[in-house]
Every structure is written in C-alpha cells, then in structure tokens.
Structure 1
Amino acid sequence: MSDSKCFTLLKDPSSYTPDTIDLNRDEKAALYWFPCFRDLITKFATQAAESQSHNDDTAVQRAENFRKSYLEKLDEYQRNTQMNAANNIVLGIRELLELNEIQLRVYGFGDPWRKQKELENTAALAALSKRLEELDAITDNTARWTELIRGVLAGNMFDWGAQAVTSILEEDSNFGLHSALDRIEKRPWLVDNLDNWLQRMLGKAHKCALVFVDNSGVDVVLGILPFVRALLQRGTKVLLCANSEPSLNDVTNRELTDLLIKACTHCSVLAKARQEETLLLYANGQSGPCLDMRSLPSALCDAIQEHETDLLVIEGMGRTVHTNLYAKFTCETLKLAVIKNKWLAERLGGDTFAIICKYEDAS
C-alpha cells in the first residue's frame, strides 16, 4: 500500500473502495461476469500462445496451462462468493483482470500484446501531426474542447480487451480515429457533463492535472496527447500516469516514455513541456487495467502534493467504470470512458459504446 499522502485526493479515504460491482454480493452480476471471464480467458490464452509460438515450441502448452490454472482459481472465487460476502470481502472485476496478468507471468508470458502495441503506436504517431493541425484549425474555444473530449472518447474505442471492439478491429484494418469519431454515441451521452466541463474551460487554468491513461496506439497518441497538449497550452502542469506493468494493450510507463520522446518530434508544445518539466511521467503502481487509488507509488503521491494537483482525469472503462465510477475526490474530476460491454452498459442504463463524460467540482 502506498503512502497515505495519496489519500489527500479522496474525499473520504476510510470508505473508499475502487470497485463499482461486488461479485460476492451482486448475484446478477456474478451470473454474467463469471461466464464472461471463462470466455475471455480462452481468447487471452490464444493471444499468449501466438505472442511466443514463433520462437518457443512450449508456448502453446504453457498457454493451455495458463488457461486451466486461471479457470481453477475463477471456479474457487465463484464457489466462495457467499462465504466471502459474509466476511465482508469484496470481489470486483478489477481482481479478476489482475488475476489474468498474474497467471500470465506465472506461465512465462510477460507481455503478450507487446508487438501489437508497437505496431499501433507507430501508426498513431504517424498521424499525430495531422490530428494536431485539425485541432488547431478550430478557433472557437468551446468547439475545440468539444473535439478534444470527443477525441479522447473515440481513442478509448481501441481496446483489444473488449470483444465488441475486437470484432470491429479484426474486420476493418482501416478503422482509425475518424472512423471511431463517426461511431461513438451521439449526445446526449449516458453520463453527459460535457457542458459543465466546457464552461469550466472558459475560466482560469488549473495548476496541475493528474491524468491516468488507458490503451496504447490511437487512444494515448491521438486521444490523450492532444488533450494534454491543450492543458499545457493553458498553463496547466500535467502529471501523466501509465501502468507500471503490462496489462492487455494498455500502455505502460516505459512505453509511454518512449512514445513521448517520439511525439515531441511532431509537437513543439510537448517538447517544450518535457524540457521545462511541466509535463512529467509517472508509473501508476497498477498491474491490471483498473485503478486503485490506495496503491499509487510514493513518488507519484509526492508529486501530487508538490504540484498542488487540482484536476484529476481518469480515462478508460477499467479505471473509470469498473473502478472509481462513484468515488468522490477533493479536486475537480473528469472521468471519460466508452463502455464496450453490453451488459455493463445496460446495467448503467445505456447500450454498447455508451459514453461516460462525468465532470465533478472539487468536493
């Protein structure tokens, strides 16, 4: 567990639980998610095998062992839901996703999505200059921030961990940011506080924004980096946080460091911010695609305090919907995600690809 200084962003640290759904207590959720993960793990095992099969003839068997081991542990979780609920033990989607990463490492799969991430990062970087030109051509402040938010949401479509998106990406190799912009939900969104955010952007700049990013490729390069650039142009310092360890196609801190070096060759604003240290990168302490604010590294906690962070931006379904959807913070908070799971979207009152754009004032 991290330094308690991180809890300064939480309105009520003692009652904070990151998980939106508790499978030990929510029978309807359990009936959906346990079978869902049984299907997902077969897909993840296939990806793991393919990531190493070209140079390791043990990869297929190790992937099968991974699948069986995961399913054994999943069955154990399901058998014990009532007992764990009686003992006030919470089981969220977060834990099942983290279990996937733990088991992959046990069977020798460090980062099954690494090559896919490299390909998508390279392609997205090639399109960055053009995307920034498109945004700079929008002279109206409100229209520009609307497009920046839409860009983050469209970028969040590129999630290989979501079956609804995987089907699109596998069928259409040309599916890119503009295709996603055309496909995302039209306003009003499922949770739509965009107008409040746009009004806030007419006011004074924030001192420091803490931004938790999600996927590699289009998501981080064409969605998040232009958004971060716009904050920097307002005079806001940015702490940009990516995963400490690989998880699906989420960008890691190490990958983001390399990405940013390359992005700086396309953008003088980012380059200047890196040089002047108004754009700082941190690992988020997470080994899965969700976000537990109790496990942030001490270095990040110190930076949050030192730079007087007054804006928290959380992006992605794992960090914003599976976790932290209802969490309250002491600073302004912007939660952005596309819900790429039909069951979850319907549970929240929407449909597949419903949008969360949740802006909350400082509590």
Structure 2
Amino acid sequence: MNVEGATISDELPYQETRDIVLPNQTENFYAQQIGGSLAKVVYFSRKPDSSKGGRLNFTKFETERIDECIDFIENLVSSRHSQVPKLREKIVVKATGGGAHKYFDKFTEKLKNVTIEKEDEMECLITGLNFLIAEIPYEVFTYSENDPMCFEDTLSSNMFPCILVNIGSGVSILKVTSPDKFERISGTSEETGIFHFIDQRVTQFDVCVSEMLEMSQRGDNTNVDMLVGDIYGSDYNKIGLKSTTIASSMGKVFKKNERQDGAIKALFLRHEGYLGAVGAFLKHRTRHRACSFSEILTFPQMITEGSVNAYGILESTPTKLVVFPKLHDLTNYNPDTAMLTDSVSQHYWIDVLEDNLQSLVELAIKWNSNGDDQKQDVQTRASTFDTLFRSHLTRLRDHPTMYGALTIRNLLNLREQCLHEIGFPDIFAKVKAGENKTALRDLKDLLEKVDSVQDVEGKIEFLIDNMLAGNMFDWGSSQTLEMLRKGELTFEAARKKIRKPEHLNKLRLFTERITSRAKPKLKKAVIFVDNSGADIVLGVIPFARFLISMDMDVILAANSFPAVNDVTFDELLEIMTEVSEMDTLLGIAWTNKKLSVMATGSSSPCLDLRRINDDLAEACKDVDFVLLEGMGRAIHTNYNARFSCDSLKIAVFKSTATALEFGVRLHDAMILYEEGS
C-alpha cells in the first residue's frame, strides 16, 4: 500500500524501513501490496527543509495482523491532517494483491475520508520491476559458487525478454517480452505455506513469517539440501559437478531427487519484496516522473542484523538523468574501470579510506566552525560522521558485496553520502573559494605566457602541461592531501613533479588532429571538469580558450552538487563571470554563448555517463570532441569508454595502487587521445 503525506513513525524498527525520495510530491497518497502472508506498505513523508519533495518509506506487516496495518495507515493520515489542518487534497490509498480485494471493506470502513483504489497485481509487479532495473545500478544479482553475489549492471543492458518469478504465498510465473507486455504462463501454490511447514518440521520452532525469514539468512543450507558430495563422497568430475553442488533441494529432509537445470540464470533484486507496492505507487505518479533516482546507503539501522545483503533509500534527482549521446556502445559500457572483486584490492581501498578519515574529520571541523558557539555542534557532527562511515567500512570489510558491487566509485559515493546526511553538504566550500581566488589572480599572467608561444604544437603542449599541473590540486587524494594541508604544493612545483610515460602519452596524435588540414575541423567540445582552484582556472579554462580560438564552441560540464573539492556548476558560473571580464576572447565567447557552463547532474567525484543531466545530453548531441579530465572521471571511471566522436582523457595518477595497476609511478600523467568510432 502507498500512503502520501505521512511522517516517519518512531514505532517502526529502522531495519524494516526503505525510503525513496521524491522531488515534487504534494498530494496525500499511499500504496500497498497485500499478499497472503505479508502486506508491504509504501508511504510518503515530506522533507523537513522543503515544501516539496520527500521520501517514500517502506515497511511491512504480516497479513494475519492486517488490523495493525490499517491502524498504522490511519495514524499516518491523522498525523498528516494534524500537520496541515486545512488539508483539502484527496487522500488516496492504492492497493494491489489479493488482500486488496479481501480486505477492501475493512479498509474503507476504518479509513474514513480515504479513497481506496485497487490496481492489478501483475501490472504493478511489472511496473515496479521496470523501475528498479532501469534506475538503480547493480540492483540485480545472482549467486555462484566462486562468487557468492555476482551483480548485473542492468543500466547498460536489455533485460527483455525475461521470466519473472514472483514468490509470495503462492508463485506466479510471468513471461515479460517488453516493459509493457507480459503474460502469466504458470504458477504454483507451494510457497510460504509449505516453507512454513518445513521450517517447523526442521527447526521444531513455532515462529512467525518475519522471524522465519530472518532466521533463514543465518542458516546453513547443507543441513537440509542434499549435495553431490553427499551422494558420491567427492566431486563428480566426469560431468563437471563439484561436491558442494546441490543435488537435491531439501533432499536431506524428504530424500527426494531433483533434476539440475543450469540453462537459465536466476537473477534476484536487492529491493525484492516491494515490486508490487512500488508499482502501485508509480501507477498514480506516472505523469509526474520527470526525475531519476539514485541509491543512498547511509544509516546502519537500515540493515538487518547479520544480513549479507542490503538495500537503501532511492533518492530523487532534480532532473531526469539520461545516457550521454556520444557513447559508442552502451551495451558494453561500464563506468567502473576496476571492479574490486579480490580481497586484496577490496581491503586496500577500504584501508585507504579509513586511513584518510581522521584527516577528513579534522578538515570538516577546521573549515566549518564559525566561532565557539558553532564549534561544539560541528565537532559532534564530525564525530557522528566518523562513527557512521567507519561502521560502513567495517561492514564492507566483512561482506564486500553487501551494498551491491564494490567499486572505487561506490566507495567514494558512500563517503560523500555520509557527509551530506550528517549535515556537511560541502566541507571544502571555504578552501575552494580561497583557491579559486588565488588562481584567478594568477590567470592573467598565465594567459600572457600562453599567447607568447607562437607555434601551435608548442602551445598545445604548454596548455596540456598546465592542465596536468592543475589536476594535482586534489583534496580527495591521500597522496597529495598532506602537501595541500601544509601549503607545500605550488603550481610550478606541480609541473615539475609530473612525468609522461610513453605508453600513456598520445599528445602527438591529438596535436596532429588539431592541426590537420586533411580532416574536417572540430566544431564543438564538451569538457567534463574536475577540481576547483588551479585545476579549473589555470588548467581547464586556458585550454578551453585555445579551443575557442580554433573556432570551436565549448561546454564546461561541472558537478551539480559538491563532492570533495570538485568545482560545482554554481561555483563555475561565478568563476566564469569574473574570467569573462578579465580576458577579451573569453568575454566575447561567454557573451555569445560559444562558451557555456552546464550541470552534469552528478554529486560524485566519478562519472557514470549513463546518468547525465538531460539538458546537457541534449546540448551534446552535436559535439565532436569530448574531454574527460581528472583521475575520478578518466581513470577510476571511463578509462575504457569509447565514443562516437574524438576524445581526450587526461589525468595524473595520484594513487600509488592505481599507478601500479597501470604500470606507471605516482604522479605520472595520462594523455589518451582517440578518434571517434
């Protein structure tokens, strides 16, 4: 069931809540799926700092206690009315599942002034399925012997046709051939009832469904499943079966053989259980879904104790996120260069983030305390952030795939999410402002040096060297953090530290392309920028100015929201306003919109090119040159990305481990140019 306009109930156990944040929800609306065993409820609560938008909260009740579910919804409705006494909006409860019919009269009798609308269960399931696999990266996973949880990144793949097996009190099997075409092809009555019977026979415990499901997460299937080793005493090598392969599910209970069928891969959803309720909610909200969603995993209490699989809040984005139009092959695109699948790499990156945590906490306190009256509050929040993020790292060290696929991108995103949730939306705001101011003072002299270089080849190399030097100013790098804290890193010192290994230096190819008279001139570029200060001001902007001098239009694409010391869209607008008054060429381009700034839709130091602000994607349909700048955007992610237009990936290796993986040293540079596919 879905209920809108409600507040979060303090009576709910945190581990039973799962939230989705919506930006423009104003009606009073709720949804639920009522099955034979469980009733899943989705209800809306407003954000305390906003008149619009909020979160969808998820909880569940045993159907045999349906009165508790009705009372819960009644309290939500009453709470909403108490918050908005003159509430005139229609309160709607969308209900699906068999219980929507069975308990319809009970709901209408108890919930006065509420409209109950029934929705088809199968349609809601498909709607919920489509939403989750299209919006949430690594939502889908499978099990294998060597890799207990193997994740499928459905954002880059076509999931249809597929068979959806909906396991509840009974089982429905649906053949789904497209997002809106499906048919029920089979089903069975043997699910929760027989599971409950078997559980009682095996454990001798008389427990409820919720307790039974929680116990199953801690159980050992070898106690009940008959394995190949139980039959043969070892592997069955002739047909390639290992001794741990299940030969008969529940075979040790009923001693009944079961044939193996490995032709179809069984996939599971991390947000399983709420497909129908989410689908019911979306049935009401279809016309308002001009936004996308991202998963937020911040609070430990959202994870059931002992679980090895978790899922979190689905937070709305202000705009719709779409695929970057210049990706050559979406099907084979994976933003993450390295999947941390082995224990060595997993523990290395978890250790790096943990080792860097104390410095981050100190910086948060230093830069966010305005006087003694605020210092105590900042210290308290910083301590809370420290405890929160460490708890995540501890959990991931034990169960690396607990939150989905473990990647550098996801680890960095988790850290940013924790900072924002604790009340540090931009801990580097002050240092970014100071570095921008310092860099802007040096820009005019640098541009004069650029203009003094007469030959184009020499000018391009000088500009690229400046961009690499600027990229060293990265507060997110543990290797440069201490130098930045002590003020030991200057722009000239950064230039001297950088080396260019031959196998990663394609500067000559780029220079030949720019100066070639045999090929069409490049007309429009988009530059995905990285850090504030010297990086954007002394590195990227002079290079963009050069492209403009070559009669190209240039888009500077910056993060929509803060992440480490990355420059944001709003900050870059301020920088460009000042720069346009400082330099004639840039000023004319800015006025004539040959030079523009756009938001990527991202709040991450990394970049997923499947999830780009739709306005930026539209503006990039005719670009013929893409530049990815910085380690997060060009090395940790998108190193393997291929484009239908020309591209340049440029960054400095500021992580020893990452440098070793690429066969280079710390502070080596990468300048990769590729012609469009």
The alignment partner of 1:349 has SS state of coil
Equivalent residue letter for 2:445: K
Moved more, 12-21 or 315-324: 12-21
Aligned to 1:362: 676
2:635 alignment partner, one of 321, 330, 345? 321
In 2 relative to 1, CA 106–50 (structure 1 residues): closer, same or farther, beyond 3 Å? Answer: same
Aligned to 2:468: 153
1:152 Cα deviation (Å)? 0.5
Percent sequence identity over matched residues? 34
Aligned to 1:78: 397
| Residue 202 (structure 1) aligned with residue 518 (structure 2) | no
1:11 alignment partner, one of 303, 328, 337? 328
- Whether the aligned pair in 2 keeps the contact of 1:311 and 1:332 (CA below 8 Å) is yes
Equivalent residue letter for 1:262: E
Instruction: Measure the CA separation in 1 of the matches of 2:406 and 2:567.
Output: 25
1:253-312 CA deviation, whole Å, 9 max, x = no partner? Answer: 00000000011122111111111111111111111111110110110011111xx11110
In 2 relative to 1, CA 170–26 (structure 1 residues): closer, same or farther, beyond 3 Å? Answer: same
1:192 alignment partner, one of 500, 505, 516? 505
Aligned to 1:131: 446
1:185-218 CA deviation, whole Å, 9 max, x = no partner? Answer: 1x44451111101111112531210101111110
In 2 relative to 1, CA 190–344 (structure 1 residues): closer, same or farther, beyond 3 Å? Answer: farther
- Whether the aligned pair in 2 keeps the contact of 1:176 and 1:218 (CA below 8 Å) is no
1:38-97 CA deviation, whole Å, 9 max, x = no partner? Answer: 11222222221222233412111111111111121222333333677xxxx532111111
Moved more, 138-147 or 204-213: 204-213
Q: Please list, as runs of the form range in 1=range in 2, the aligned pairs for 1:37-186 lying within 5 A after superposition.
A: 37-55=353-371, 56=374, 57-81=376-400, 89-173=404-488, 175-185=489-499
Moved more, 222-231 or 5-14: 5-14
In 2 relative to 1, CA 355–259 (structure 1 residues): closer, same or farther, beyond 3 Å? Answer: same
Instruction: Measure the CA separation in 2 of the matches of 1:318 and 1:148.
Output: 21
Higher helix share: 1
Q: TM-score, normalised to structure 1's length?
A: 0.93
Instruction: Measure the CA separation in 2 of the matches of 1:281 and 1:6.
Output: 19
Aligned to 2:600: 284
Instruction: Measure the CA separation in 1 of the matches of 2:503 and 2:415.
Output: 29
- Whether the aligned pair in 2 keeps the contact of 1:190 and 1:350 (CA below 8 Å) is no
Moved more, 9-18 or 221-230: 9-18
1:231-259 CA deviation, whole Å, 9 max, x = no partner? Answer: 00101111111111111111000000000
1:141-189 CA deviation, whole Å, 9 max, x = no partner? Answer: 101001111111111011111122122233445x43222112211x444
The alignment partner of 1:241 has SS state of strand
Instruction: Measure the CA separation in 2 of the matches of 1:131 and 1:189.
Output: 27
The alignment partner of 1:299 has SS state of helix
In 2 relative to 1, CA 82–264 (structure 1 residues): closer, same or farther, beyond 3 Å? Answer: closer
The alignment partner of 2:457 has SS state of helix
Aligned to 2:553: 237
- Whether the aligned pair in 2 keeps the contact of 1:189 and 1:356 (CA below 8 Å) is no
Instruction: Measure the CA separation in 2 of the matches of 1:101 and 1:43.
Output: 15
- Whether the aligned pair in 2 keeps the contact of 1:190 and 1:354 (CA below 8 Å) is no
In 2 relative to 1, CA 188–283 (structure 1 residues): closer, same or farther, beyond 3 Å? Answer: same
1:34 Cα deviation (Å)? 1.0
| Residue 345 (structure 1) aligned with residue 659 (structure 2) | yes
In 2 relative to 1, CA 166–303 (structure 1 residues): closer, same or farther, beyond 3 Å? Answer: same
Moved more, 222-231 or 205-214: 205-214
Moved more, 73-82 or 61-70: 73-82
- Whether the aligned pair in 2 keeps the contact of 1:160 and 1:248 (CA below 8 Å) is yes
The alignment partner of 1:112 has SS state of coil
Moved more, 273-282 or 75-84: 75-84
The alignment partner of 1:270 has SS state of helix
The alignment partner of 1:312 has SS state of strand
Higher strand share: 2
Equivalent residue letter for 2:667: F
Instruction: Measure the CA separation in 2 of the matches of 1:154 and 1:265.
Output: 25
1:224 alignment partner, one of 528, 540, 544? 540
Equivalent residue letter for 1:275: T
1:5 Cα deviation (Å)? 6.2
Q: TM-score, normalised to structure 2's length?
A: 0.51
Equivalent residue letter for 1:6: V
- Whether the aligned pair in 2 keeps the contact of 1:5 and 1:302 (CA below 8 Å) is no
Structure whose CA Rg is larger? 2
Instruction: Measure the CA separation in 1 of the matches of 2:351 and 2:393.
Output: 10
Gaps of 5+ in 2: 1-134, 136-291, 293-319
Equivalent residue letter for 1:223: G
The alignment partner of 1:16 has SS state of coil
1:4 Cα deviation (Å)? 8.1
Gaps of 5+ in 1: none
